[in-house]
Amino acid sequence: MSASRSNITVPTSAAPGKTSEVDVLIVGAGPAGLMAATWFARCGIKARIVDKRGTKIYNGQADGLQCRTLEIFDSFGFADRAWKESNHMIEICLWNPNSEGVLRRSDRIPDTIPGLSRFQQVVLHQGRIERFFLDSLKEHSDIRIERGVMPEKLTFNEEDAEKEDAYPIEVVLQHLSDEEMNPEQSKSTAGAAVSDGLFRSNLAPDDTEELLQQAAAKGRTSSRETVRAKYMIGCDGAHSWTRKQLGFALEGEQTDYIWGVLDIIPITDFPDIRVRCAIHSANSGSIMVIPRENKLVRLYIQMTTTEKGGATVNRSNITPDMILKAANKTLAPYTLSYEYCDWWTAYQIGQRVGSNFSKNERIFLAGDAVHTHSPKAGQGMNVSMQDTYNLCWKISNVLNGVAERSILKTYQSERRRIAQDLIAFDHRFSRLFSGRPAKDVMDETGISMEEFKNAFEKGNLFASGVAVDYGSSLIVAKPGSSAEQGDGTDVEQKSDKLRVIGKQELASNIKLGMRMPSFKVLNQSDARPWHFQEVLRSNGKWRIVIFAGDLSKKEQMDRYKKLGEALAAPTSFLHRFTPAGKPIDSVIEILTIHSGPRTEIELHDFPEIFRPWSKREGWDYWKIYVDAPSYHEGFGEAYKNYGVDAAKGCAVILRPDQYVSWLGNLEDVQEMDHFFSGFMKVRN
Amino acid sequence: MSASRSNITVPTSAAPGKTSEVDVLIVGAGPAGLMAATWFARCGIKARIVDKRGTKIYNGQADGLQCRTLEIFDSFGFADRAWKESNHMIEICLWNPNSEGVLRRSDRIPDTIPGLSRFQQVVLHQGRIERFFLDSLKEHSDIRIERGVMPEKLTFNEEDAEKEDAYPIEVVLQHLSDEEMNPEQSKSTAGAAVSDGLFRSNLAPDDTEELLQQAAAKGRTSSRETVRAKYMIGCDGAHSWTRKQLGFALEGEQTDYIWGVLDIIPITDFPDIRVRCAIHSANSGSIMVIPRENKLVRLYIQMTTTEKGGATVNRSNITPDMILKAANKTLAPYTLSYEYCDWWTAYQIGQRVGSNFSKNERIFLAGDAVHTHSPKAGQGMNVSMQDTYNLCWKISNVLNGVAERSILKTYQSERRRIAQDLIAFDHRFSRLFSGRPAKDVMDETGISMEEFKNAFEKGNLFASGVAVDYGSSLIVAKPGSSAEQGDGTDVEQKSDKLRVIGKQELASNIKLGMRMPSFKVLNQSDARPWHFQEVLRSNGKWRIVIFAGDLSKKEQMDRYKKLGEALAAPTSFLHRFTPAGKPIDSVIEILTIHSGPRTEIELHDFPEIFRPWSKREGWDYWKIYVDAPSYHEGFGEAYKNYGVDAAKGCAVILRPDQYVSWLGNLEDVQEMDHFFSGFMKVRN
């Protein structure tokens, strides 16, 4: 494509209709697109989100939710809905043949490593998760999913890419007629032919409204419009139209493993049917059991019809009966049948990563558009949502005038690296899971069950999503090369003067580049316990967490007061980066956790900058916390668990997505200033 | 009134319109009425609920939710919404004058006694609580609140009272025009004049739909209909129309204390404004501080304008300014002001109990219709909801053919006694709170602050709602006189043969007559931890909880298997009381908690009756639990905490409202049979 005003599109004869402008256009309303829209809703960004499908999905599809995904949901206020409706994954049982070849349970391991997160991995179908996003969008914004709307032509004016207020993107959208947009769901899954009655019985009550709206839209006929946008995000799946327009490749390969999937209410004498199981039979393939909500169980079943040697197998011939037969072979001597099937499919594993995640940091790709892999580790939907969770606070910060465009390059650096790691993990895991178990140590073509168990346990840490460790960059002040720690993109802080390195030694369990862990602390004003992550809502604000230490010691209180004075000074970075007339916590919020004792210090002993006053609401009672025992929910021991010195404390800068940017002492105000000055815009 | 076909009504000239029949008519859609409707929704009862007001309320009114109320909400599946939106009450601070007369904090005590319940007392305004009920009704039934509908005439045919399928009640309902039904809310509270703008700003997003419906109803004019009902419940408030038709008295007296109430976002230097406080000033009255959701604080402020000697004071002259001035006098040297007031009122404490809670166990009264008292202990809404929570599973059991009408008398016996206890508590508490603090031990007209603190702490146990202890009756198998343990009503088991007494010594912390406490246990099938109360959903079923003990011991497993055989026998009470063709758990559900070890017993080792099979869904994986440590949520130590012998176990019969009916050994099947035979109907 040419550098200036290139048309990246298939030709169309229709004339575009009305033209309008929007800050961000999101293409695709699956989990990645909905996560993007949710960020924009919370940050007050003018965004539109379109999807060619006529409705959201109602069953089947992705189902695993990682610990980290639940933490993110909670930062938007709806993890509780997922937690309540989902099935919780507690234990994994490994089944494989004993020395006589008889299937038996060889191991039990916890599904989520205890202590890793306040959430554990759960399972809930994608349709419900989309519902939570839709309700959240409705509650917090005017952004609504525009369904039956398909992009048809993309024009990108590359010359304007670095002009801040330009609209370098132009997209022609086609509004589909009712016939055109339905029924995508049953077409897209191989032979999914669940009857209408079953389909309807799976609807939750709060989905009804949407179906009614859809019915109301009937009779609408095709029409076109043109949208001019500052930014665009392609969340349009593995066959991404956006990616194709940009000419970017999805690099990798198809494997020769074919798997069947059944979502059923099982009738069986297999004792662990309500437990996540990895079952290796001696010679009849493998099964993964994923117990789900509403009495359902998902079974991933290896199909023995696979042709050897990488030849493409025709999976369109596979039926539920064939999958069930394969399952019974693997499970023998146990038996499995069902009366109720909610959904089923068959798939072949492909492992691919996108060559580029953005075009000039104006058009971005996310989710399946830039990575595909096997579904069995329950990663896909999570990594997709975390792509746009990483991206869209950055776009919002830029659009809201908080940050320079330079931060946008960190999206590819951070997320393409994650996608590469994911594919490597999936490759290893799929091979171990799809292989025949070794008969003994001499059986070299078989898979060692000990190796499988170890990989499974390590994989669980990876799969939790909390192990994500973003590399050094202008927004993560850690040592080393940004190119090496990311996907190769250069995202260094360019100014030597502004480049700072966080002091990791001040908080052994608050890791630069990783998400802030959560322990319980009490609100100083009312003694209520909060998991500290609950206070770190996703609203686009940067945060400085002041571990104030032991304020009953005069020397420490003096350090804290001195920090307060520096922050409150009219020339402080806090004032410089906050627009005049806006609340002092509107760009950077300061939170305090002191180490107590809670009852020996009064709220009004804290300097005012740490509990800002407003004319209408008086003092702010939600900024100061204490590490102390609660009456009803135990003792979080936050200082101990964060690895922070309870006497002297430290200061932590957190990104709007709760990842740790910097660590330092209470005196390091100049370093904080340098860090923020590296990408923030002076407003005052 | 005469015994047969008496007209209990004010005369009306209008001719009744169409006539229809309903199982239960509920008058009044406040919390008591909504709780009643919720039970009927879950039990499949045909019920209607009418309210003369045009909308539900949106601010002000009652706000405290007891531990027990939250447990009940959770049994219907919506405690999580209240828990999330509410402010949690953690600590109480007592403030009173020191020896120099200067106000200071004298004590800190926990608000909810630790360990009492898995919930703690919270605060949330009544409008949100009504919302949760409305959403729950919509999700589970076709029952909708009929607003702007007022009963006009009540006819009761007493001769038919004991005829099971009769409709002895006839009510003429008037459908009000829009002008007639609005605006009840502002009229009913003394001088409430919060401006329209503030009123609207307080609306939650999910209230909007209802307002739209209300708008659509505009233009409706008065009309009449006649409803014939089997049962009727008057939840129509302190000025209950239903009570007046029945000619029942509300007995008690008005006190001479006047209190002002402000719901504000406070601007103050008082350090404990976000803590529940009881403040006694030396000579300027008392204040109770109740921190609320959305930055609001409710202040109950004693007005110094009270006339002495019981003369009626005109509270209609009171203004928010007067209340604020009184507050500042009490709080001195601290100051208080506000920019935002959400709601305010002034009230005079009256303490009264209804003389009768029912007419022939066909027409019942509940909530404020039968008890009024001071609001400061946050009891009113809770006790009102718990009235109908007690009543309506009983009515449902009778209407569904499960139980004899004899159980209905226990409503008055159990709940009128609670109302009497509540009024006694409120009387004592109000006197201590409204009085001037004693200057020293010689000051006899003053209130001892030590006595106040003790009363407050004891009051907290009462106020939690979990101390409720229902007396002996045909549905609570405990020793002693039912008349003495209740309100005087005779609710004994009439048959000597069927009268059984539970063996309290088998479970020291599962108290006959009290609600089943909750500790965490794991599901045997998937190791997921549940608070045991979560399994005890409110669905109208009776339950037998089998503490099966240590099933790894053959002797104990034999006892358990023998019990299973007795229950599974075709002539067992379980079969006799379950209609033919219905699932075996549809009237009485059997749950097992064994004492482990979890991993040494397989699900299929348990006798089938304890995990019943169905053709469509296979085995039931949600009936068997184990007392074992969890991976992520600690160890409930259920046997230890319930006080049950971990080797031998015991059996517990629970009512549909989770109150304990009976305790016995695994061999006491004959006693279980006798207990249920005392009021259940043979179906098979």
Q: CB contacts < 8 Å between A and B, how many?
A: 105
Q: What is the DSSP letter of A343?
A: E
The Cα–Cα gap between B386 and A87 comes to: 31
Region A592-610: mean pLDDT is: 94
Predicted pLDDT at B213: 57
Query: Which of A70, A74, A91, A212 would best serve as a mutation to test chain B binding (most B beta carbons within 10 A)?
Result: A91
Residue A499: exposure state from Cβ atoms within 10 A (0-12, 13-18, ≥19): middle
Range B367-382 average pLDDT: 85
Quickly state the pLDDT bin for B340 (edges 50, 70, 90). Answer: very high
pLDDT at A449: 86
User: Looking at domain B500-677, does it have CATH number 3.40.30.20?
Assistant: yes
Min Cα distance A136 → chain B (Å) is 11
A523–B274 C-beta distance less than 8 A: yes
Q: What are the tens digits of pLDDT across the range A523-544? A: 999 999 999 999 999 999 999 9
The winner for highest mean pLDDT among A114-128, B43-57, B433-447, B617-631 is: B617-631
Residue B8 has pLDDT above 80, yes or no: no
> What is the distance between the alpha carbons of residues A303 and A322, in angstroms, rounded to a whole number?
8
Q: What is the pLDDT of residues B401-428, one digit of tens each?
A: 999 999 999 999 999 999 999 888 888 8
Span B276-290, pLDDT tens digits: 999 999 988 999 999
Question: What is A253-349+431-464's CATH topology?
Answer: D-Amino Acid Oxidase; Chain A, domain 2 (3.30.9)
Q: What is the pLDDT of residues B470-486, one digit of tens each?
A: 999 999 999 999 999 99
Q: What is the dihedral of CA A272, A278, A281, A286, to 10 degrees?
A: 120
| Cβ-defined contact of A90 to B528 (cutoff 8 Å) | yes
CA distances from A153 to A15, A92, A227, A615 (A): 11, 48, 10, 51
Contact (CB<8Å) A90/B268 = no
For residues B122, B125, B126 and B129, what is the CA-based torsion angle, rounded to 10 degrees? -60
Q: Which residues from A are below 8 Å from B265, CB to CB?
A: 616-618
Of B194, B226, B251, B222, residue with least CA distance to B58: B194
pLDDT of res. B525: 97
Residue A274 pLDDT > 70: yes
Selecting from B84, B271, B631 the residue whose C-beta is nearest the C-beta of A114 gives: B631
Three-class SS of residue A348? strand
pLDDT, position B364 = 98
* Among B220, B224, B225, residue whose Cα is nearest residue B177: B220
Closest-CA residue of B relative to A265 is B617
Which secondary structure element, helix H or strand E, spans residue A482, and what is its range?
Answer: helix A482-485
Q: Which residue of A has its CA nearest to B140?
A: A205
Q: What is the DSSP letter of A297?
A: E
Q: What is the pLDDT of residue A182?
A: 55
Burial zone of B144 (CB within 10 Å; 0-12 exposed, 13-18 middle, 19+ buried): middle
Which among A88, A291, A618 is the nearest to B268, CB-wise? Answer: A618
Q: Is the dihedral of CA B666, B671, B674, B679 positive or negative?
A: negative
Please give the biggest Cα pair distance in chain A: 78
**Could you confirm whether B490 is annotated as catalytic?**
no
Q: Which of A127, A354, A60, A132 is nearest to A235 (CA)?
A: A354
**DSSP state string for B449-510:** HHHHHHHHHHHHHHHTSTT-----BTTB--SS-HHHHTTS-----S-TTT-----GGGBTTS
User: Domain-by-domain residue ranges, chain B?
Assistant: 22-86+119-189+204-250+352-412, 500-677
Q: In this model, does residue A592 exceed pLDDT 70?
A: yes
B42 CB neighbour count, 10 Å cutoff: 23
Superfamily of domain B22-86+119-189+204-250+352-412: FAD/NAD(P)-binding domain (3.50.50.60)
Neighbours of B173 (CB within 10 A): 23
B192-210 pLDDT per residue, tens: 344 322 232 334 556 545 5
Task: For Cα atoms A229, A230, A232, give the angle at the middle one, nearest 5 degrees.
Answer: 70
| Residues of A annotated catalytic, as ranges | 63, 292, 300, 375
Decide if A617 and B265 are in contact by the 8 Å CB cutoff.
yes
Mean of per-residue pLDDT scores for chain A: 89
Kindly report, residue by residue over B216-225, the tens digit of the pLDDT. 555 455 689 9
Tell whether the model's pLDDT for residue A667 goes beyond 60.
yes
Asked if B14 contacts B37 with a C-beta cutoff of 8 angstroms, the reply is no
List the single residue in B120, B526, B617 with the smallest CB-CB distance to A90.
Answer: B526
Q: Name the most confidently modeled range: A343-357, B200-214, B215-229.
A: A343-357
User: Is pLDDT at A61 greater than 50 in this prediction?
Assistant: yes
Kindly report, residue by residue over B584-596, the tens digit of the pLDDT.
999 999 999 999 8
What is the distance between the alpha carbons of residues A4 and A156, in angstroms, rounded to a whole number? 8
CA distances from A157 to A13, A35, A229, A412, B150 (A): 21, 27, 11, 21, 67
- Token look-up 């198809």 returns A254
Q: Is B384 a residue whose pLDDT tops 50? A: yes
Contacts with A412 (C-beta within 8 Å, 6 or more apart), sequence order? A356, A357, A358, A486, A487, A489
Residue A528 to residue B88, Cβ atoms within 8 A: yes
Q: Of these residues, B31, B51, B58, B63, which one is catalytic? A: B63
B91, B335, B336: which to substitute to probe chain A, counting the most A Cβ within 10 Å? B91
For residue A453, the model assigns a pLDDT of: 86
* B271·A604 Cβ contact <8 A: yes
Q: B576 catalytic, yes or no?
A: no
The pLDDT of B87-108, averaged and rounded, is 94
A223 three-state secondary structure: strand
Those residues of chain A whose CB sits closer than 8 Å to some CB in chain B are: 80, 84, 88, 90-91, 108, 110, 112, 114, 120, 138-139, 205, 265-269, 271, 273-275, 291, 295, 339-340, 523, 525-529, 599, 602-604, 615-619, 621, 630-632
Supply the mean pLDDT for chain B: 89
Q: Is B642 a catalytic residue?
A: no
Lowest mean pLDDT of A233-247, A449-463, A640-654, name the range.
Answer: A449-463
CB crowding A227-239: b at 16 or more within 10 Å, else e: bbbbbbbbbbbee
Closest Cα in chain A, distance from residue B206 (Å): 9
Strand partners, A618: A614
**In the predicted model, is pLDDT for residue A307 greater than 70?**
no
- A621/B275 Cβ within 8 A: no
Whole-number pLDDT of residue A253? 82
Which member of B168, B375, B437, B529 is catalytic? B375
pLDDT at A214 (0 to 100): 59
Q: Tell me, yes or no, if B207 is annotated catalytic.
A: no
State the pLDDT at residue A8: 46
Pick the residue from chain A with its C-alpha nearest to B93.
A526
Closest chain B residue by Cα to residue A290: B526
The pLDDT tens digits of the residues spanning B15-36 come to 457 999 999 999 999 999 999 9
Q: Choose from B95, B337, B528, B635 for mutation: most chain A CBs within 10 A.
A: B528
Give the integer Cα–Cα distance in Å for B532 and B534. 5
Phi–psi pair at A37, nearest 5 degrees: -60, -35
Predicted confidence (pLDDT) per residue in A158-201, tens digit: 999 999 899 999 999 999 876 666 544 433 333 334 432 223 23
Average pLDDT over residues B178-187: 50
Alpha-carbon gap, residue A52 to A28, rounded angstroms: 7
- The one-letter amino acid at A51: D
pLDDT at B473: 98
